[in-house]
Amino acid sequence: MVRASRLSVAAALAFAGLGALVLGVSACGRRSEGPLPIALIGDRTALDTSSLRLSPAARTIRGATVEGLVAFDAEGHIVPAIADRWIITDDGQSYIFRLRDGTWPGGSRITAETAAAALRKALAQLKGTALGLDLAAIEQVRVMADRVIEVDLVAPVPDLLTLLAQPELGMPYAGRGAGPMGLARRRGGAELSLIPPEKRGLAPEEGFSSRARNLLVDFMPANKAVDRFNEGAADLVLGGRIDSIPLTEQTGLARGNVQLDPVIGMFGLLVDSDQGFLSEVPNREALALAIDRDAIIAAFNIAGWQSTTRIVSAGVEGDAGTVGERWVGVALEQRRALAAERVTRFMAGGKPAPLLRIAAPNGPGTRRVIDRIAADFKAIGVVAVQVGEDKPAELRLIDATARYGRASWFLNQLACSVHKPACIMEGDMLLAQARQTADLRERARLLGEAEAQITSANPYIPIARPLRWSLVRAGVAGFALNPWGWHPLPPLAALPK
């Protein structure tokens, strides 16, 4: 059976309350002729996508210029790319891809041998990362015929297509991506254009040039991107996060211009040191007890944004439901009293008050969050200061959107091979067992036990789900809300028929 259907994003839609801020975007483009100007939050280093440790802006560029077997459309659904069709075996442990009859850059035919080699190289480069763990069930990539490859798994990975559509799984040939867009560098950014089918070894399409427009992508800080939009020099701003969302409050933007994606993921404090005060589990829990999450949420006044004390977003696939929100029914004053006792116990014998550095990106939204956290910690006797996101620190603000909607994504972010400080080996072993387990119910049980073990160790202090925002001029075609929190460029370059 051929499966090219849309993947479930039910877990992401549980967060659709954020849509209260969003008004519809009409189908026809304001600039139906000429290039579409886009301000992408980031810097020009995003143009270097050779390393697979990609910044958010670099993921956007690589996703447009280095195709994988499959890709995302504007709404985050799976569409064909280098593979034009695929079959999944009934046991879910083998994916067979038929490659399109086309060419790599330079004119060489796309073959199973070259595609398999590119995929194996990408998988090898991702070892030691959380995405590498997501893909760890891949046993081998085999060549079956001239244009057919098979991906064999040791256990089912229901979201394998979503994983293979990630920009990191793009498959360059001879150091060059196969499109679907070409890129020309320009001052401040790049101009991207859809590569005509005949230049990709495909049959020509009548009227292709009249249905394609170039994208003028400029990289800049968030404040300049918002200014560019307000001045009318950009029709689209991409890459907004919580650090910059207050900028949308300080302008005359219409409500319909601000688009919030219904994402899930992790937004909270990652323990980056297991020394001193943070060496003891009760002390790490004291910090989690002290935070007034609802006050942080209220500071942004965004409908539908909710706090959480869980590592895993409730209701995602693979969530056994055995781990719930922590400290339900316990008043904040009680939690802080317990936390303050632990700080006092740590200081017994003349130790100074704990001083914790929190590494976080600079921006008005981040400062708003860190200021409130610092006040919460002060209430229990802990001093907290913000430092740059690339500086040494005891705590680090993590702001990551899920790449797929399952419990395993969340837990893999905290695996010992990915993040060593304060990790717990018992939870790690349960995660490893879950990856090798073919029975999905048994896998969910193991993941629930792993979540309980990791939660008890407090290597991560959850606050809420992440926020991702864009600014969209009314009438821009090719933009849609996306549960993965980033927006592919190729749909924006294809005008409606």
DSSP string, 279-329: GSHHHHHHHHHH--HHHHHHTT--TT--B---SSPTT-BT--S-S--TTTT
Of the candidate ranges 14-28, 394-408, 432-446, the one whose mean pLDDT is the lowest: 14-28
Contact 66, 183 (CB under 8 A): no
For residue 42, the 8-state DSSP code is S
Cα distances (Å, whole numbers) of residue 425 to 127, 137, 410:
19, 20, 16
Distance CA 465, CA 400 (A): 9
- Predicted confidence at residue 497, as pLDDT, reads 75
- pLDDT of 79 strictly over 80: yes
Q: Tell me if 460 sits within 8 A of 311, measured CB to CB.
A: yes
**Residue 310 corresponds to which tokens in the numbers above?**
């869980």
Proportion of the chain above pLDDT 90, given as a percent: 82
Strands 355-359 and 395-401: parallel
**Res. 129: pLDDT tops 80:** yes
Question: 74 and 491 in contact (C-beta within 8 Å)?
Answer: yes
The mean pLDDT value of the chain amounts to 91
**Strands 265-271 and 395-401, sheet pairing:** antiparallel
pLDDT at position 383 is 98
Strand order in the sheet with 236-240: 181-186, 189-194, 215-220, 36-41, 236-240, 469-472, 258-260
Burial of 432 (0-12, 13-18, 19+ CB in 10 A): middle
Q: What is the pTM of this model?
A: 0.91
Would you list the DSSP string of 339-366?
Answer: HHHHHHHHHTTTPPPPEEEEE---SHHH
Rounded Cα–Cα distance for residues 447 and 455 (Å): 12
Residue labelled with tokens 């010992």: 416
Tens-digit pLDDT profile for residues 222-232: 999 999 999 99
Cα 26 from chain centre: 26
51 pLDDT band (50/70/90 cuts)? confident
* pLDDT class of 26 with cuts at 50, 70, 90: very low
pLDDT band at 252 (very low <50, low <70, confident <90, very high): low
Question: What pLDDT is attached to residue 255?
Answer: 65
DSSP state, residue 141? E
Lowest mean pLDDT among 35-49, 239-253, 384-398, 408-422: 239-253
CA 184 from centroid of its chain's CA atoms: 26
Residue written as token pair 């005359």: 252
- Alpha carbons 151 and 490: distance in angstroms, whole number: 26
Domains of the chain and CATH, by start? 22-45+179-260+468-497 (3.40.190.10), 67-176 (3.90.76.10), 265-464 (3.10.105.10)
- 60's enclosing H/E stretch is helix 56-65
- DSSP-derived letter for residue 50 is S
On the question of a cis peptide bond just before residue 221, with omega within 30 degrees of 0, the verdict is no
Beta bridge partner(s), residue 37: 216
Least confident of 4-18, 234-248, 389-403: 4-18
Asked if residue 55 lies in contact with residue 42, where contact means CB atoms within 8 angstroms, the answer is yes
- DSSP line for 199-235: GGTS---TTTGGGB--EEEEEE-HHHHHHHHHTTS-S
Task: Indicate whether 31 pLDDT > 80.
Answer: no
